[in-house]
Chains A and B, each alone.
Chain A
Amino acid sequence: NFMLTQPHSVSGSPGETVTISCTRSSGFITSSYVQWYRQRPGSSPTIVIYEDNQRFSGVPDRFSGSIDSSSNSASLTISGLQPEDEADYYCQSYDSSNRWVFGGGTKLTVL
């Protein structure tokens, strides 16, 4: 099975744009969709982006997802950073046998 590698942490000031990467260790990033979840402290995760770049209902358009085949990675970009964006973010995908995989998570700090 493959792994999804995320940076341990990223940070940005209010109003700035941050990007969180998610790199697939083996197999093509395009072979299965990537999802993104946000987990605020003490809360359950919630879906933010599904199928690479589809915003879940109610998610503001400041959040966007993309795929970069050249680096075999997916990215979550948050523009116009707000204090309430501070959370842990996880990418998730699956293999050809429908076994799901989560990335190691990235802690976003709003300075």
Chain B
Amino acid sequence: QITLKESGPTLVKPTQTLTLTCSFSGFSLTTPRVGVGWIRQPPGKALEWLALIYWDDDKTYSPSLKSRLTITKDTSKNQVVLTLTNMDPVDTATYYCARRPPTGTLHFDSWGQGTLVTVSS
């Protein structure tokens, strides 16, 4: 059974750096073609893709947020970490992590439950 779970602070102040951890089980990030991505969703708004890291450590980022985002993996811990610098109230959202399957198809087949992050002073 594949599971993913996001963890991190629920409240951050403007200008701070957000660090979120995706802990997963049921698959390995050493398996070819597997990836783990981050997606966010402001309250009442649409999904926004943020970043994705692959089994071979290749990484892709949203062009609009690339300068603020960093994604890394720790395969020994089955974790993927996302950092977003210089947080602003507009970054308030539910942050999801999700798996890209080893089939090579470019979709997310399993999602975490999401974690709500509020940016406020």
Do these two chains really belong together in a complex? Answer: yes
State whether the Cβ of B105 lies closer than 8 Å to any Cβ in chain A: yes
Which A residues are within 8 Å of any B CB, using their own CB?
A: 1, 32-33, 35, 37, 39, 44-47, 50-51, 54, 56, 90, 92, 94, 97-105
**B60–A99 CB distance below 8 A:** yes
- Apart from A46-B111, A47-B108, A100-B49: 9 A-B pairs, beta carbons within 8 A: A1-B63, A44-B111, A47-B107, A50-B105, A54-B105, A90-B46, A90-B47, A92-B107, A99-B62
Q: Kindly list chain A residues whose C-beta atoms are within 8 Å of the C-beta of B46.
A: 90, 102-105
Q: How far in angstroms is the closest Cβ of chain A from B85?
A: 19
Q: DSSP majority for the B interface?
A: loop
Q: Cβ of A33: which chain B residues have Cβ within 8 Å of it?
A: 105-106
Chain A residue nearest to B62 (CB atoms) is A99
Query: A44 is contacted by which of B37, B62, B112 (Cβ under 8 Å)?
Result: B112
In the assembled complex, the Cα of A34 lies from the Cα of B47 at a distance in Å of 15
| Partner of A35 from B48, B61, B62, B106 at Cβ < 8 Å | B106
